[in-house]
Homo-oligomer: A and B are copies of this chain.
Amino acid sequence: MLIFCRQDLTENERGAILDAARAAGFEPLELGSTRIALHGEGERAGLEALPGVLRIGALPDTPVLVNEPDRRVVRVGPVEIGTGFIVAAGPCAVEDRQRLLDLAHAAKAAGCDILRGGAYKPRTSPYSFRGLGDKGLEYLKAAGEATGLPVVTEVLDPRDVAVAAEHADMLQIGTRNMMNYSLLVEVGRADRPVLLKRGMAATLAEFVFAAEYILLEGAPGVVLCERGIRSPEPSMRNTLDLAAVPALRHQTNLSVIVDPSHATGRRELVPPMTRAAAAAGADGVMIEIHDAPDQALCDGKQAVHPDRLAALVENLRKIAALAAEAEESQ
């Protein structure tokens, strides 16, 4: 069963509900500040009348919040995701204050909307560079302020969420952590919109449930990011599942952006795949850029040079407009 509580529930009331649920034989589980799931076989009588309880319903089998009728427009600083085509760009990893600043200015000048960059980097080998950590967050914040671009950055550890939320406008959950439910809960509580990347072998149903985890905790918005799934094809890093874009937009109220850099791992495939994303109806793309890709500490082979960005962004907006036009006329 699922208890729906009043928005202005007091801590006393919450405690009383939890105690009563346990006394009635249930295992209660708080889902954000206004819902309490009851598991196990208990006795429902009496719970409905407790102060602060609005009503008691069944536990849903399918996601609820992501299926509400109104599309969820997400605000990231001055940018809206869900009302036009946005471009996020930046280096894979933050490596150096000046280089980041230069890339941020290049992204801004090319017409990009959001600055991306990794301070905490999840790496397959423990011997690899794992990012600059808190220092990277500071560089990102400074680059965002210098350019006016809002900043998105990945968090890996629930204990880093608070500090990341102080420095970034949007928090990213990476592909390796899409099923890290402790982390999803924690970012859901950080009062920041969340960019949720698809797990590298996650089904769309699992992906959407992960977004529900975050929204239940009160996050002001979730944006999905398709970034490719594992397949037997060896010539690319992953297989970009672009059909997921219209499928997710049909079945949820969420915006969907696409990351062709991690999906393909090959620089020459990034521009055509950003175009394909725009045509498929995506709400935006995220592109890795680097001014000296061969020196990059992380994923240089997939980075696009900032010189090519302005023409690409302009072309993408035209394709996105044609796709939007066609969709509306259907």
Task: Please tell me if the beta carbons of A201 and B203 are within 8 angstroms of each other in the complex.
Answer: no
Interface positions of A from 249 to 278, Cβ below 8 Å from B: 250, 260, 263-264, 266, 268-269, 271-273, 275-278
Q: Is A47 an interface residue (CB 8 A)?
A: no
* Complex Cα gap A2–B127 (Å): 8
Q: Is A79 an interface residue (CB 8 A)?
A: no
Q: Is A301 an interface residue (CB 8 A)?
A: no
Q: Is A157 an interface residue (CB 8 A)?
A: yes
Residues of B within 8 A of A125 (CB): 60-61, 63, 209, 212
Task: Please tell me if the beta carbons of A126 and B212 are within 8 angstroms of each other in the complex.
Answer: yes
Q: Which of B180, B229, B239, B276 contacts A280 (CB 8 A)?
A: B276
**Oligomer: number of copies:** 4
Residues of B within 8 A of A129 (CB): 27, 29, 39-40
Q: Which of B40, B232, B279 contacts A276 (CB 8 A)?
A: B279
Pick from A82-90, A106-114, A308-316 the stretch touching chain B: A308-316
Interface residues on A, range: 35 or more
Pick from A4-12, A142-150, A320-328 the stretch touching chain B: A320-328
Q: Which of B180, B183, B230, B318 contacts A322 (CB 8 A)?
A: B318
List the B residue with the shortest CB-CB distance to A246: B272
Q: Is A296 an interface residue (CB 8 A)?
A: no
Q: Which of B2, B229, B312, B326 contacts A271 (CB 8 A)?
A: B326
Task: Please tell me if the beta carbons of A275 and B326 are within 8 angstroms of each other in the complex.
Answer: yes
Residues of B within 8 A of A128 (CB): 39
Residues of B within 8 A of A209 (CB): 124-126
* Complex Cα gap A73–B272 (Å): 21
What distance in Å separates the Cβ of A293 from its nearest Cβ neighbour in chain B? Answer: 16
Q: Which of B156, B241, B327, B329 contacts A272 (CB 8 A)?
A: B327
Residues of B within 8 A of A201 (CB): 200-201, 229-230, 232
Task: Please tell me if the beta carbons of A272 and B297 are within 8 angstroms of each other in the complex.
Answer: no
Q: List 23 A-B contacts (CB under 8 A).
A: A2-B127, A31-B126, A61-B127, A122-B179, A130-B181, A159-B182, A201-B229, A203-B232, A229-B239, A230-B230, A231-B231, A231-B239, A232-B232, A235-B247, A239-B243, A240-B241, A240-B242, A242-B242, A242-B276, A246-B268, A247-B266, A271-B330, A275-B322
